[in-house]
Amino acid sequence: MAKFKVTYDAMNKLLELKLEGYWSMDDFRDYEAEMTAKHVQIIKQTRYYRVLSDARDFAVQSKEVGQAFESLFDPRRGEDFGRFAILVSSALNAIQAKHVSPHANVAVFTNEKEARTWLLEKGSLPG
């Protein structure tokens, strides 16, 4: 069973991620490969896009997987692609999400409607 799903809504310039369960490093590597490929595909069409990462069913991860997520986002810290909303279900998940993605354009939500409203509000994409 896949532990993640990656889809892109070109009309809204919205990359949607669904993360589930407790991951091994193999799970992370599969996600990293698919996420990187999708990012490359999107930036061929548009410089800016939004991300909604639904991590409500994503367990608090091992230190190793947490560090791998940090490494995935490190090269992108200086880049501004657009807003990135992370949906979580617990305070502990919110802490981990904020630690992994401490960017100014990243926000953590527990309510999907609020996250989508923030992502899609007028002027939310640079340029």
For 72, list phi and psi in degrees, rounded to 5: -65, -40
120 in helix, strand or coil? helix
93 in helix, strand or coil? helix
Per DSSP, which regions of the chain are E strands? 4-9, 14-21, 50-58, 84-87, 106-109
Residue 111, CA distances (Å) to 21, 45, 77, 118 in order: 20, 30, 25, 11
Q: List 17's β-bridge partners, or say none.
A: 6, 53
Residue 85 scores a pLDDT above 70: yes
**Mean pLDDT of the region 70-78:** 67
Domain positions in the chain are: 4-120
Asked if 52 contacts 14 with a C-beta cutoff of 8 angstroms, the reply is yes
Query: Which amino acid makes up residue 27?
Result: D
Q: pTM value? A: 0.86
For 56, list phi and psi in degrees, rounded to 5: -65, -30
What is the percentage of the chain residues whose pLDDT exceeds 70?
88
* Minimum mean pLDDT range among 31-40, 94-103, 105-114: 94-103
Query: pLDDT tens for residues 90-105?
Result: 877 777 777 666 567 8
Class of domain 4-120: alpha beta
